[in-house]
Structure 1
Amino acid sequence: MIRNIVFDLGQVLVTFSPEYIVRRCAPDLPEEDVRLLVERVVRDPEWIKLDSGEASEEELIPVFCRRLPERLHNGIAALLRGWIDCLLPIGEMQALAQSLGGAGYRRYLLSNVSHRFWAIKEQIPPLDGYLVSADERLIKPDPAIYQRLFERFSLDPGECFFIDDREENIDAARACGMDGFVFTGDVAALKEALRQAGVVL
């Protein structure tokens, strides 16, 4: 029986659009430079160091500035300092999280995200527990982060259902005994998957 619903953050409870984030943080850049910052900063492997807790935003600013033209340096700084404020609530998903809580399910967050998550925690519905990758120095799909979740909150994997936007993270969850659903924006399909898993909506 499913008793616990585990949510990812980006593209599940809030949006994470690199293009939107860059345009918000550096609004005067031409499209060519927007694309450059998306590909060479937000989608660069160095960005993962925020999620893994290996580096802070301030520490990564000079790293990216050394690699990219001087005309982009102000935009890089604005992007690294302001990206967390560019995550927008996904209304239907936040409503679902609230209704599941009202129905008696315990709800948890398991997200690959930097320490700055805590600055926006109030922008998502209150949950029963939070596991943030940067705090744990572990990132999905490493099986160790799922085990940390189960141990931290005394959860039985077989009683958990995980919602994440990346297939490899759901595959890893299933390998650890936790069922789940790859969320691509179709809330109706997610609700049907929850019903199929025995969740009463």
Structure 2
Amino acid sequence: MNIHFDEWNVWYQKKQTRFPWEVAPPILEDIYSLVDALVFGGMLCILLNNADRVKMACLAQLVNVIPPIFTEKGGRIVKQAIFYPFQQVSNFGRGEALKPIVKCSTFESNLYGEAPIVQSAVTYDKENETVTVFALNCDQQEDIQFTIDFRSFENSIPIKHVVLDGPDLYAQNTFGEPDKVKTGNVKIESNQGGIIDVIIPKLSWNMIRFSTSNK
């Protein structure tokens, strides 16, 4: 059985005010924060990890209405916090979804019980000879040493580690501060015999890419 998700996203569902009829009124224009981007990244991991059954998962409106991109009349645009995990998975979450085997501690969630501290998804793009690891660190206090066993892929070479995090979970990108929430590059610590160690910061979304080319 195949499953299809239509118009998914983080949505606060604020009570709407009724206005007289007009063309394209400014409604449902949620402004997203870093914490929304982390939730968004976790949702992306779930979708990727169920790609054998989830054949289509359409993000809700892309511009202005519950959007990753916000605009104003006159031409300026802002990339919202949720834009970054969406962009990364759209561009690099391609090919085959691999099944990650993750060993980590857990935490107790209010609604769903015990959950892993690290949520992750992995894709293998055979055509471009790359593996991409997406990882969400849910730990509120500690950075985590994230050890990746790549011995199944000979000659795996780290390309980059991109992280989305920050000291303020409720930071938002606005026209006045368009880069308050943005990604940064982090050094990959080691690569010994197919065992790669990276540090994923507390409460962060991470994309770690590897080349598997023998050239």
Which of the five TM-score ranges fits, normalised by the shorter chain? under 0.3
- Choose between structure 1 and 2: higher helix proportion: 1
Higher strand share: 2
Larger RCO (alpha carbons 8 Å, 6+ apart): 1
Q: TM-score, normalised by structure 2?
A: 0.25
Bigger Rg, which one:
2
Scaled by the length of structure 1, the TM-score of the pair is: 0.26
